[in-house]
Amino acid sequence: MGGQYHYTMETQTCYCVPLEDGMDIYPASQWIRAVQHNAAVALNMPENSINVSVKRCGGGYGAKSMNSALLSTACAVAAYNLRVPVRMVVKLETNMEAFGKRIPLYGKYEVAQAVAYTLGIDISMIKIKASMALTSPNSGKTGASMASDGITRVDLLEDVGQSISPTVDIGQVEGAYVMGLGYWLNEKLIYDQNTGALLTNRTWCLLFVMPWSLEEKMQDQQKTGSR
């Protein structure tokens, strides 16, 4: 599985206010502990001097977990040295180059073993069949239609049980679909072979409608100095 971008509604951002005996930090983070610990280490302060407050943060899918501590720590150091409140908001290109993606991974998953274990039967009784419209009609884009202009409608159905926050649940479901859509549209991370810089640092392109490959386009842009 290749790398994948995180398309959150906001990029990485943080607001820090220096105090007489510590720091108030207001990050967009899914991991308060990481923000507090890293700021304490960077500022050489006890952790109980770092006050981290997050009113709400949803739909990050990991983008606002450990990655958010990179920006919040830099923001805290700036506020500490300047002795003034500091707010940092990362632009999209920088966010995608430095923060906004999952790294590629490789894994194996044995479907037959999982089914046999769940059903409590011998693995020899499990048969893996090819996908068919009769048995698995939703193997493609469920409730979606694909045309030359892209997806025009999507109907999503999710059983969330007894919802504590319907608005958050809707955001999670919609965000999960969009990230999956990114993989369906051949999302790919491309790096400069000489510098290692990420070249695909904006919204994705649909490779199947491009008259030339994305790699060739990036190489051409490098030669001309344009983006």
pLDDT per residue of the chain (227 residues) written in tens, 0 to 9: 667 676 677 888 999 999 999 999 999 888 888 899 999 999 999 999 999 988 766 555 677 878 889 999 999 999 999 999 999 999 888 888 887 677 677 777 676 777 788 888 988 888 776 544 444 444 343 333 333 345 677 788 888 888 888 888 888 888 778 777 766 665 677 788 888 888 877 765 444 444 445 555 556 666 665 54
DSSP secondary structure string for all residues of 188-222: ---B-TTT--BS--SS---GGG-SS-HHHHHHHHH
CA dihedral (110, 115, 121, 126) in degrees, to 10, reads -70
Interior angle at CA 137, CA 131 and CA 139, nearest 5:
60
**Which DSSP symbol is given to 48?**
G
